[in-house]
Amino acid sequence: MKELFSLFFTFAKVGVMTFGGGYAMLPILQREVCEKKGWATDEELMDYFAIGQCTPGVIAVNTATFVGQKRKGIIGGIIATLGIVFPSLIIISLLAGVIETFSHLQWVQHAFGGVRICVCILIINAVVKLFKKAVADWKTLLIFIAVTLGSTFTAISPVIYILIAAAVGIGIKVIEGRKA
């Protein structure tokens, strides 16, 4: 029961501290889940992010569900999911009526502009941390470059890139296994 409370409150803290959507939560999730709690390794969290991107829903919610399920089974997944969405539900409910009234004010628009910049920096920091763990050799660097170029210059779904990268990764390991 204690760990269920910890799951809920940890993910609620992530949910309440994050502005800018699922990607903005990634660095906070990494710090809370990997560094502070030790509930997952950086590699596992990257896998959860990748699967969370491929599955319907918000990446941070999907990731919370995966971590909760790993810790305490189905009930853990449900509790972690409720934890991460609870703050947003409360905040959105409170702001929904008020935001329309004040959204035209210049200072509100500037505040949102500042928050967007901060979110971009948080995402860049998460990408740099994940890059250091994911790009381990020249083969993974080539996959990274190919996906970066493809996603920059085409409108192909990220799911397709993830599936292709997974297939290439499997292919590389199969070929390396045959050589050994």
Write out pLDDT tens, residues 51-103. Answer: 877 777 778 888 889 999 999 999 999 999 999 989 888 888 887 777 777 77
Report the pLDDT averaged over residues 122-135.
Answer: 82
CB 87 within 8 A of CB 15: yes
Name which of 70, 87, 62, 101 is nearest 8 in CA terms: 87
Query: What pLDDT was estimated at residue 121?
Result: 86
DSSP the chain: -HHHHHHHHHHHHHHHH--SSHHHHHHHHIIIIIIIS-SS-HHHHHHHHHHHHHSSS-HHHHHHHHHHHHHHHHHHHHHHHHHHHHHHHHHHHHHHHHHHHHTTSHHHHHHHHHHHHHHHHHHHHHHHHHHHHH--SHHHHHHHHHHHHHHHH----HHHHHHHHHHHHHHHHHHHHHH-
Query: What pLDDT was estimated at residue 76?
Result: 93
> Of 20-29, 35-44, 59-68, 76-85, which range is least confident?
20-29
Arithmetic mean of pLDDT over the chain: 86
R_g of the chain computed on alpha carbons: 19
Query: What pLDDT was estimated at residue 22?
Result: 63
Query: What pLDDT was estimated at residue 142?
Result: 93
> Of 8-12, 61-65, 103-107, 137-141, which range is least confident?
103-107
Of residues 129 and 71, more confidently modeled? 71
Predicted TM-score (pTM) of the model is 0.61
